[in-house]
Amino acid sequence: MQKYTGRITRWAVIAAIVVLLVLVSFASGWIFAGEKKHSAKEEEALTSQTESAVESEAESVVESQAESQPEESEPEEELPDTVEELPWNLLLVNRDHPLSDDFKPELGTLSNGYEVDARIVDAAEAMMQGAADAGYSVYCTSGYRDYYLQWTLLENKISRVTASTGLEGQEAFDEAKMVVALPGTSEHQTGLAMDLLCGSYSSLDEGIADTEEIQWCVEHCAEYGFILRFPKDQTDITGIVYEPWHFRYVGVEAATVIMEEGITLETYLQNVYGIE
Ligand SMILES: [Zn+2]
């Protein structure tokens, strides 16, 4: 009986060991598999992290390329910092920035025969049509003028100053040039300016500012890309007397800012481009 019991115990021990071994091997199998699964997951996560890192790096490379590309291939995207680099519609002409005597834009003709820069014909016609639709008659009485015509206008003005004030020489010249731009400094040479008259007023003097027609133009010109170029009380900036009849094309974007803020083209270019 003792022998028998001892055998059973031995068997039990062996069985227990076997069961233990099996359990251990199972357990280790599970653990191993689990570990494998875990590491596979980790690997996946790591891979996708790396991939996304590579992707985002690639994206940022593409982005930075895209950012740097305009500098290299499209210099017009950069803000101009000299008058010469300004787009055609913002061409600045004044005493500090005169045009050469041979500057001449490609001209187009308005319906009443006056010539302006061909690129503004449609905008000019649209503005005058807009006035007509509102019940006002507004028309161009001076568009493009060449350098030499400006000399003639200045000489005529000097004569009139002398006749009316008795001033002569430099004094007459100084007085005249406040009203008639020096050759090369008139916006009319750019072809981007128009002097406007209207149905109820037909002289180019300050009185035209009181007409409903010109008031309509001042209120609506920016919608067509035009500005009142020589506003009242800013003659120290423009160097030109108040000219309520002189409208200048600059494009809708600039015109909207200039007319809303009541500033000059000079101030606008200084604010936006730092150009003086
Ligand atoms: Zn003018």
pLDDT at 31 over 50: no
**What mean pLDDT value characterizes the chain?**
81
Residues 11 and 95 in one domain: no
Q: Is 125 a catalytic residue?
A: no
Same domain, yes or no: 95 and 60 = no
Helices then strands, each counted (H, E), the chain: 8, 6
Six-digit token string for 11: 């068997």
Give me the count of residues in the chain: 276
Domain assignment present for residue 156? The answer is no
Task: Specify the pLDDT at position 114.
Answer: 97
Residue 86 has pLDDT above 80, yes or no: yes
Q: Which of 10-19, 112-121, 176-185 has the lowest mean pLDDT?
A: 10-19
In this prediction, residue 22 carries a pLDDT of 47
Domain assignment present for 169: no
Q: Which residue has the higher pLDDT, 95 or 21?
A: 95
Of 42, 57, 75, the position where a domain reaches its end is 75
Domain that holds residue 255: 83-145+186-273
Q: Report how far ligand 1's centroid is from the alpha carbon of 9 (Å).
A: 123
* d(CA 143, ligand 1 centre) in Å: 8
As a dihedral over the C-alpha atoms of residue 11, residue 16, residue 21, residue 23, rounded to 10 degrees, the angle is 140
pTM of the full structure:
0.69
Please give the distance, rounded to the nearest whole angstrom, from the Cα atom of residue 188 to the centre of ligand 1: 6
Q: Which of 265, 110, 86, 261 is nearest to 196 (CA)?
A: 110
Q: What is the CATH number of the domain that holds 238?
A: 3.30.1380.10
- Catalytic entry in 57, 243, 260, 276: 243
Question: Which of these, 69, 49, 51, lies nearest to 61 by C-alpha position?
Answer: 69
For 118-133, what is the mean pLDDT? 98
Q: Are residues 207 and 71 in the same domain?
A: no
User: How do residues 53-73 score in pLDDT, each as one tens digit?
Assistant: 444 444 444 444 444 444 445
Q: Are residues 87 and 60 in the same domain?
A: no
How close is the Cα of 230 to the center of ligand 1, in Å?
A: 9
Is 261 contained in some domain? yes
Residues 137, 244, single domain; the answer is: yes
Whether 194 and 257 map to the same domain: the answer is yes
Q: What is the mean pLDDT of residues 84-97?
A: 93
Under 8 Å between Cβ of 184 and 150: yes
**Among 75, 101, 131, residue at a domain's last position:** 75
Structural domains in the chain (count): 2
pLDDT at 15 over 60: no
